[in-house]
Amino acid sequence: MSRAGRTALALGLIASLATGAALAAGDAPQPDIRAQLSPVRSTVLSTEIPGRVADLTVREGDRFTEGQRLVQFDCTVHKARLDKALAQQQQARKSHQVHARLDKLGSNSALEYETSAAQLAGAEAEVAMMRAMVERCSVNAPFAGRVVELKVKRHQYLAEGHELLEILDDREMEVEMVVPSRWLPWLTPGYPFALRLDETRKEYPAKVVRTGARIDPVSQSVKVFGTVDGRFPELVAGMSGSAVMQPPQ
């Protein structure tokens, strides 16, 4: 969660604690707490091989499908190494076939046969490794979603492990909020509430899906996660507002 989001949730917690004091004093309940929309799936893709960025197929804000190629590296050197490994594999296979025939005829030693078998296994492993390197020249989307931020440019040379782009799946989002821990007896999965967003100035039906695994002993608060009931195209990750919950009588 962003710093702004944490600040908003902290302010919401303060408001929630004030609500608890009001309830203790016998005043009318006003259980509005700050909440924020967060994507269920998001990640930062990084390069697994060093190389030059040959092509970027998306820009910030673009949508993409699962498996779509997002970044393409210049793979000339890796393809050449794969061709070399394939040639060495073919040579090792033919040598092993010859030694296998000689072994059946008893014309060579067991050591020569086993050595040829080991050379073939090493050549096949080299081919598998080079195929994996070639596959890593293309960075594909692990899920459908949108591009949050591009961290590289076309023709830029990158070292292994360099961040490429941040992506998220905006088809499924959850509501993050911090509530007083004394609400846990009744704030169980499935409990309904209304999500009132500042950006859209609308209310959306929502429900609790799970609670956090640990209570903050200082603030006596706990994280709670919910989901919006229904599909609303205007919702964007990072939107914030109030979660309106009515405690049971």
Give the pLDDT mean for 174-194.
Answer: 94
Rounded Cα gap, residues 9 and 224, in angstroms = 11
CA atoms within 13 A on the CB side of 97: 6
pLDDT of residue 24: 42
Q: Which two tokens stand for residue 201?
A: 């100035």
**pLDDT tens column, 23-62:** 443 344 445 799 999 999 999 999 999 999 999 999 999 9
Confidence of residue 248 (pLDDT cuts 50, 70, 90): confident
Give the pLDDT mean for 155-170.
Answer: 95
pLDDT of residue 1: 55
Confidence of residue 5 (pLDDT cuts 50, 70, 90): low
pLDDT of residue 182: 93
Confidence of residue 206 (pLDDT cuts 50, 70, 90): very high
Give the pLDDT mean for 208-217.
Answer: 95
Give the pLDDT mean for 236-249.
Answer: 91
Residues in the chain: 249
pLDDT of residue 186: 93
CA distances to 14, 70, 93, 216 from 213, in Å: 21, 36, 56, 10
- Greater confidence (9 vs 155) lies with 155
Placement of tokens 């929630």 in the chain: 16
pLDDT of residue 6: 54
Give the pLDDT mean for 212-223.
Answer: 94
Domains and CATH numbers, the chain: 3-41+169-244 (2.40.30.170), 76-133 (1.10.287)
Q: What percent of the chain has pLDDT over 90?
A: 74
Give the pLDDT mean for 194-209.
Answer: 95
CA distances to 39, 48, 248 from 72, in Å: 26, 12, 55
Query: In this model, does residue 162 exceed pLDDT 90?
Result: yes
Confidence of residue 194 (pLDDT cuts 50, 70, 90): very high
Torsion angle, alpha carbons of 21, 23, 26, 28, to 10:
120
User: Is the full-model pTM beyond 0.85?
Assistant: no
**pLDDT tens column, 70-108:** 999 999 999 999 999 999 999 999 999 998 888 787 777
Query: In this model, does residue 8 exceed pLDDT 80?
Result: no
pLDDT of residue 99: 85
Query: In this model, does residue 17 exceed pLDDT 70?
Result: no
| Mean pLDDT, rounded, of the chain | 87
